[in-house]
Amino acid sequence: MSSIPDITPTDEAFMHRCLELARRGAGSVSPNPMVGSVIVHGGRIIGEGWHERFGGPHAEVNAIGSVPDHGLLTESTLYVNLEPCSHFGKTPPCSDLIVSKKIPRVVVGCLDPFAKVSGRGIATLESAGVEVKVGVLAGESERLNEAFITSHRKGRPFVSIKVAQTLDGRIATSMGVSRWITGEESRTEVHRLRSRYDAVLSGSSTVIADDSELTVRRCEGRQPLRVLLDRQLRVPVESKVFNDQARTLVFSSGQASDPCRIAQFEARGIEVVQVGESPGGLDLHQVLGELHRRQVLSVMVETGNRLAAAFVRERLVDKIQMFIAPRLFGGDGLASFGTLDVLLPEQSVELRFTEAGMSGQDFMLEAYVI
């Protein structure tokens, strides 16, 4: 397997195109990864494809299928942002297809994160005499499929916390009012973000305070699963979070939930899953474990300061997406994050900023937990 250093601008440019194509599968391929592929002959793209929907043909199959003259494949390079598969899933292995079409060169963005198959697709290609280059735009390729990769590597969904706060770090006034802090553009952007996640998760206090619906309404897009953490099933069944615009899954505590109340939810088709408790609320590891079991790859947490802090304390957060409005609520407002037990700066939760920009009059930041 050749190593990364000799990336040529051409390989990068074609890999960029793969990533662009792959993004078209956002919202339709989960729990599969987003994959794009291009086929290049004599420096010119002669075929391209992407994984369009879960269960459908893989990107390489679509790219190869789009080439009008298959005779050219024997002199072409296939680019793909994720290692070609080597196993029979819903479709036959892509590495076998590439070998059977006698494509002499393959350029790969990143390896498959699934330990049992990682590197096997490459090995199949190399043992058939295909020249393989791995790691072109590896960072971008991994980032595009961060949910898929996290799910395989950590055995839980990728977790992002969305916060809409004032410049002085407040998510609600001293009266608990949070509507609205940010402007129209940011609120539309939040709906766009929701449509890219498999699930949106909130806590009982926020849903009671805001009667939040947690759906995608301000733009086109898939409705994520709504996940509500409500230990004692306090949220009224008439709340918007239970309307028929999307599915809702409720987590409650086995000890506290009243069977009559559960029956009331179930009569309305709302599933209630019981998990254990940990100090301050439900056991978040169990919650994410159950979501993982249900093939939920990514979760956007949209909640208040206590539950947000609990996710951070449990080290279950991968990313923070923050919208900062140009206003102040003052120290008596509700801070974005509750207690994190940080006594010294060196105990702080460290982040790495990856994006910053404007969203209307608001500031938009993205940071990853290191």
Ligand X SMILES: NC(=O)c1ccc[n+]([C@@H]2O[C@H](COP(=O)([O-])OP(=O)(O)OC[C@H]3O[C@@H](n4cnc5c(N)ncnc54)[C@H](OP(=O)(O)O)[C@@H]3O)[C@@H](O)[C@H]2O)c1
Interface region with ligand X, contact rule CB under 6 A, candidates 23-31, 70-78, 100-108, 224-232: 224-232
If binding is defined by CB under 6 A, does position 321 make contact with ligand X? Answer: no
Rounded to whole angstroms, what are the CA distances from 193 to 219, 287, 336? Answer: 10, 21, 19
Q: What does DSSP assign to residue 167? A: T
**Per-residue x/- marks for ligand X, 113-132, CB under 6 A?**
--------------------
CA atoms 63, 79, 108, 149: torsion sign: negative
Report the alpha-carbon distance of residue 95 to residue 299 in Å, rounded. 31
If binding is defined by CB under 6 A, does position 232 make contact with ligand X? Answer: yes
If binding is defined by CB under 6 A, does position 145 make contact with ligand X? Answer: no
Which element (helix H / strand E) includes 147? helix 146-154
Q: What Rg do the C-alpha atoms of the chain give, in angstroms?
A: 23
Q: How far is CA 247 from the centre of its chain?
A: 18
Considering only 205, 215, 248, 359, the residue that binds ligand X (CB under 6 A) is 205
If binding is defined by CB under 6 A, does position 282 make contact with ligand X? Answer: yes
In contact, 95 and 121? CB cutoff 8 Å: yes
If binding is defined by CB under 6 A, does position 203 make contact with ligand X? Answer: yes
Catalytic residue among 60, 83, 189, 302: 60
Comparison of 154 and 327: residue with beta carbon closer to ligand X: 327
Considering only 234, 268, 315, 352, the residue that binds ligand X (CB under 6 A) is 234
Closest CB 338 distance from ligand X, rounded Å: 6
If binding is defined by CB under 6 A, does position 51 make contact with ligand X? Answer: no
129: left (phi over 0), alpha (psi -120 to 50) or beta: left
In contact, 167 and 325? CB cutoff 8 Å: yes
Comparison of 152 and 319: residue with beta carbon closer to ligand X: 319
**Per-residue x/- marks for ligand X, 148-187, CB under 6 A?**
---------------xxx-----xx---x-x--x------
Comparison of 62 and 186: residue with beta carbon closer to ligand X: 186
**Per-residue x/- marks for ligand X, 334-363, CB under 6 A?**
x-----------------------------
Report the alpha-carbon distance of residue 196 to residue 299 in Å, rounded. 10
Q: What's the angle, vertex CA 22, arms to CA 109 and CA 68, rounded to 5?
A: 95
If binding is defined by CB under 6 A, does position 284 make contact with ligand X? Answer: yes
If binding is defined by CB under 6 A, does position 273 make contact with ligand X? Answer: no
Our answer to whether residue 126 is catalytic in this structure is no
If binding is defined by CB under 6 A, does position 192 make contact with ligand X? Answer: no
Q: What does DSSP assign to residue 185? A: H
Closest CB 308 distance from ligand X, rounded Å: 6
Report the alpha-carbon distance of residue 218 to residue 193 in Å, rounded. 11
Task: Return the residue nearest ligand X (CB atom).
Answer: 304
Considering only 231, 241, 298, 320, the residue that binds ligand X (CB under 6 A) is 231
- Name which of 58, 39, 59, 57 is nearest 49 in CA terms: 59
Considering only 112, 210, 318, 362, the residue that binds ligand X (CB under 6 A) is 210
Q: How far is CA 135 from the centre of its chain?
A: 22
Q: Both tokens of residue 69?
A: 């003259």
Interface region with ligand X, contact rule CB under 6 A, candidates 62-70, 114-122, 237-245, 274-282: 274-282
Report the alpha-carbon distance of residue 172 to residue 178 in Å, rounded. 4
Interface region with ligand X, contact rule CB under 6 A, candidates 225-233, 258-266, 292-300, 351-359: 225-233
Residues 292-311 close enough to bind ligand X by CB under 6 A: 302-307, 310
- Say which residues have a Cβ less than 8 Å from residue 15's Cβ, sequence separation at least 6: 79, 81, 107, 109, 136, 137, 140, 141
Site residues (vs ligand X, CB under 6 A): 163-165, 171-172, 176, 178, 181, 203-206, 209-210, 229-232, 234, 280-282, 284, 302-307, 310, 334
Indicate which residues carry an active-site annotation: 60
